[in-house]
Structure 1
Amino acid sequence: MSDQVPVISMRLPQREFAEAFGASFERFGFAMVEDHGLDQELVDQAWEKTREFFALPDAEKRAYVLQGRAGARGYTPFGTEIAKDAQHVDLKEFWHVGRDLPEGHPLSDSMPPNIWPDRPAGFRDALEPLFGEFDRVGGQLLAAIAIYLGLNDDWFEGPVSDGNSVLRLLHYPPVDGTAPGIRAGAHEDINLITLLLGAEEAGLEIKGRDGEWLPVNPPQGALAVNVGDMLQRLTNHRLPSTTHQVRNPDAGRASKARYSMPFFLHLRSDFPIRTLPGCIDAEHPNRYPDAILADDYLRERLIEIGLMKA
């Protein structure tokens, strides 16, 4: 395979798509996916409301910081999150939309209800259904991964049912040349898979096997999709969670803000992450003989990136 992350159409027959998508995941930990079927009207509305929200006064945005919730819902201010082992905080701010569970649901302790800002008008109306759209398309991508791994195409349905997924609205303000750090330091995602809109603006890079940084620039409207640490662990590293970053813009773009919209697709909080038997053999012994609950794993990682206190 060439040293470019491929662009793959979801209009391909399911098994053909699964083979191409899975092969890209196995080689790069990333794939670019077009013809994904996300409701474009909802996507357009969400971009509009995202820009309007982040243009609000800082004090107004900070009214939606939820203390003690590790940024799981609402607003996380600029300069809060830091990549594992990084020296400087990321140059970004973000808003989180999660799954709302019915009252009395057994997973409610790990998944608080959403909060919604008073402004801009229509924010909830745009973002709530878009969460559902990402969830739907994410399920289709997981079905392809299941097929690639030799599992039934519905294997992931139970593990992600009522999963702790999060839609993040990201704003990277214009970059001051004297600012320490970069927009998003080198990191791996915690979750199962990530579906990202907005990577057309240059900056997203993945670390290749040779240690060099490789740009990922999807076609307009396409998704950049990547393996998270939970899927890496589940597959005994057959599907790698690749280190990636968002570098600072070149001088000509430094005065421009960058917006992106990742959907972090998570397992159920009570799902035990246990290595798939089909990913273990004599040449690939089980790296993780002990299972760990998805919520326990998430907490460990949130502490590492500064969103939760030990």
Structure 2
Amino acid sequence: MVELVAVDYAAADAEQQFVQSLRDTGFGVLRNHPIEQSAVQDIYRHWTDFFNSDEPDNFLFDPQKYDGFFPRAMAETAKGHTVRDIKEYFHYYPWGRCPDALKAEIDAYYQSTIEFAAKLLGWIENQTPPEVAAGYREPLSNMINGSEQTLLRILHYPPIEDGVMPGAIRAGAHEDINLITLLPAANEPGLQVKARDGSWLDVPCDFGNLIINIGDMLQEASGGYFPSTTHRVINPDGQDSRRARISLPLFLHPRPDVVLSDRYTAGSYLQERLEELRSSDKK
């Protein structure tokens, strides 16, 4: 049975182990990585205070730019699902809106994480078989240079209330749209990835782990060699359901002009997927 095992970033063969995990499961988990956990903890604490205040209503999302606060009533409905996820969230882009008191901290995290993500894209390219890498229209790490599409989402999963709608979970089974997603292990468990045999694997959530998964755009660019794997966030049991959960995924996007394949540019792919999401929200 396939297991997700955290790879030591400092290990001599970390690059090979990490990329093999991505190939096998669509997910890789790193420990002893350079993302500062103290910075992550501070962000969790400060944004928990933000979500528990009246301030989010001052930053309601822009339906054209998609920046700002998305209340639970406007949360996503995963593709193929009919019930909204039990979550609320804030979309941060450097060019977008952000509470002044939180701007410097979240922007520093955004920039440093993108730098690290570029290194991981280099690992992925290094470990791609030559016949697959020949299909990359430009180096993977170069695809994100100058991109204004990379999204940092601050997710708040509130405590599960009595009488929740049947079928509603914190995040329905879905795949990500982008190249790769970087996620510091959240302050609560619940993230699962779907294995090739249809079973669900728990993603190691020890605080300090960094979770990386393949998105649809890298699957497209690699001709399916790297799988964009279905994942979800399940509801906790018992008293754990009364605790909120904070999560901080960075969705790494290429520039819109980047050619992913003969079928798509990054821009055309993103527009197609966003239209699908908008259509599902109207049903």
Q: Same fold (TM over 0.5)?
A: yes
Q: Aligned partners of 1:189 and 1:209: how far apart in 2?
A: 17
CA deviation profile, 1:210-244 (whole Å, cap 9, x unmatched): 11111112322111110000011111111100000
Deviation sequence 1:168-209 (CA, Å, 0-9, x none) = 100000012421211000000000000111345221111111
Q: Which runs of 4+ in 1 moved over 6 A?
A: 307-310
Aligned partner of 1:165: which letter? T
Given the alignment of the two structures, is residue 138 of structure 1 paired with residue 138 of structure 2, yes or no? Answer: no
**Structure 2 residue 53 is matched with structure 1 residue 66:** no
After TM superposition, give the deviation of residue 3 of structure 1 in Å: 1.8
SS in 2 for 1:305: helix
**Structure 1 CA distance for aligned equivalents of residues 188 and 144 of structure 2:** 30
How do 1:1-310 and structure 2 match up within 5 A? 2-13=1-12, 16-57=13-54, 60-69=55-64, 71=66, 73-80=67-74, 81-98=76-93, 100=94, 113-118=95-100, 121=101, 123-150=102-129, 155-163=139-147, 164-180=149-165, 181-199=168-186, 201-274=188-261, 290-306=262-278
Displacement after TM superposition at 1:256 (Å)? 0.6
Which ranges in structure 2 are unaligned for 5 or more consecutive residues?
Answer: none
CA shift, 1:298, in A, is 1.0
Structure 1, unaligned runs of 5 or more = 101-112, 275-289
Q: How far off is 1:70 after superposition?
A: 5.5
% identical aligned pairs: 34
Q: Note if contact 2:91-2:154 (Cα within 8 Å) is conserved in structure 1.
A: yes
One-letter amino acid of the counterpart of residue 31, structure 1: G
Distance in structure 2 (CA, Å) of the matches to 1:239 and 1:5: 16
Q: Secondary structure at the match of 2:232?
A: strand
CA-based RMSD of the aligned residues comes to 2.1
Report if aligned partners of 1:187, 1:244 keep a CA contact under 8 Å in 2: yes
Deviations 1:77-97 (A, max 9, x none): 113211001010011011111
Q: Contact 2:144–2:253 (CA<8 Å) still a contact in 1?
A: yes
CA contact (8 A) 1:70 1:308 kept: no
> 2: CA distance between counterparts of 1:87 and 1:24?
32
Q: Decide whether the 8 Å contact of 2:19 with 2:127 is kept in 1.
A: yes
Give yes or no for contact 1:199–1:217 (8 Å, CA) kept in 2.
Answer: no
Higher helix share: 2
The letter of the residue matching 2:241 is: A
In the alignment, is the contact (CA less than 8 A) between 2:62 and 2:68 conserved in 1?
A: no
- Asked which structure has the greater RCO (Cα within 8 Å, sep 6+), the reply is 2
Label 1:142 to 1:74 Cα distance change in 2 as closer, same or farther (>3 A).
same
- Match of 1:63, SS state, is helix
User: Which residue of the partner structure matches residue 285 of structure 1?
Assistant: none
After superposition, the C-alpha distances for 1:249-280 in whole angstroms (9 at most, x for unaligned) are 11221111011110111111211112xxxxxx
What TM-score results when the alignment is normalised by the length of structure 2? 0.90
Look up the equivalent residue of 1:162 and give its one-letter code: G
Is the Cα–Cα contact under 8 Å of residues 79 and 91 in structure 1 kept in the other structure? no
Q: CA offset at residue 124 of structure 1?
A: 0.8
| Number of equivalences | 272
* C-alpha distance 19-208 of structure 1, shift in aligned 2 (>3 A): same
Describe the shift of the 1:79–1:245 C-alpha distance in structure 2 as closer, same or farther (beyond 3 A): farther
Task: Please state whether the residue corresponding to 1:306 is helix, strand or coil.
Answer: helix
1:68 and 1:308 in contact (8 A); partners too: no
Structure 2 SS opposite 1:254: helix
Q: CA deviation at 1:125?
A: 1.7
